[in-house]
Amino acid sequence: MFGTTFYYGTTKKLIIAFGSVFNNIHIQRKESDGTLIKDIQVPLAYESRKKYLARLIQDSKKNRQVPRMGFIMTGMTADYSRSPNQMNEYKFTSLVAGKATIMYTPIPYNYSFTLDVYVDYMDDGLQIIEQILPYFQPDFNIVIEEIPALELKRDIPIELTGLTLTDEFEGDFSEQRIVNWNLDFEVKGWLYPPIREQEIVEEVDVSYTLPDIVDENDELIDQGWVSVGGST
């Protein structure tokens, strides 16, 4: 069992798919009369809150990049409550090769993600949050092609599990203020065991011997009239 090298990249695909949900969010700056001044696409990066705040200390307020979002996977836990019968198999047949491709039941895993939203102004943060929250009631589904060779696609629920708001002050109190929204998510994914191939049985030769049959006088009956799958 162990020692079989395989890698489907399902966790990597899940991370990319999670990020893609939030990669097209915009905010708008307007005049008091509603005239549009600027439309800003909010940058998104795979980075931790600690890493961003450390960089924030080094950057001047003029050079720092906000609004901005960062996300990271923080952990994963097996969820056996979603596990089907462990003896089930997925079977895929290749008509060209004449082989059955067999994979045992995948293991359900819950992935924990954190999305941080960084802004200078409360209104910028509210614009971003209001473009996210309505889609999670409480979850939002994405489709991932987990194993292309088997054409295996699955709906993956993303559930919003928590939301907090903080004002961060790093360095000088007046110069380094930043508003931080922190959103926690649980993604219900799967991990797959290795694939194995099995020859398809297309023809079976069966030989058998009929037992002796006797009549009511215990005399042996000629079985030449017996046929299988035909008529007498």
Residue 90 lies in a domain: yes
In a domain, 71, yes or no: yes
Give domain status of residue 38, yes or no: yes
Lowest-pLDDT choice from 112-126, 127-141, 166-180, 208-222: 208-222
Q: Is 226 a residue whose pLDDT tops 50?
A: no
In a domain, 152, yes or no: yes
46 in any annotated domain = yes
In a domain, 137, yes or no: yes
Return the higher-pLDDT residue of 210 and 94: 210
Q: Is 120 a domain residue?
A: yes
User: For the residues 103-118, what does the mean pLDDT come to?
Assistant: 92
Q: What is the 3-state secondary structure (H, E, C) of the chain?
A: CCCCCCCCCHHHHHHHHHHHCCCCCEEEEECCCCCEEEEEECCEEECCHHHHHHHHHHCCCCCCCCCEEEEEEEEEEECHHHCCCCCCEEEEEECCCCEEEEEECCEEEEEEEEEEEEECCHHHHHHHHHCCHHHCCCEEEEEEEEEHHHCEEEEEEEEEEEEEEEEEECCCCCCCEEEEEEEEEEEEEEECCCCEEEECCCCCCCCCCCCCCECCCCCECCCCCCCCCCCC
Which CATH number does the domain housing residue 26 bear? 3.30.2000.40
- The answer to the question of residue 229 being in a domain is no
How many structural domains compose the chain? Answer: 1
User: Which residue range forms the structural domain that includes residue 139?
Assistant: 10-199
* pTM of structure: 0.76
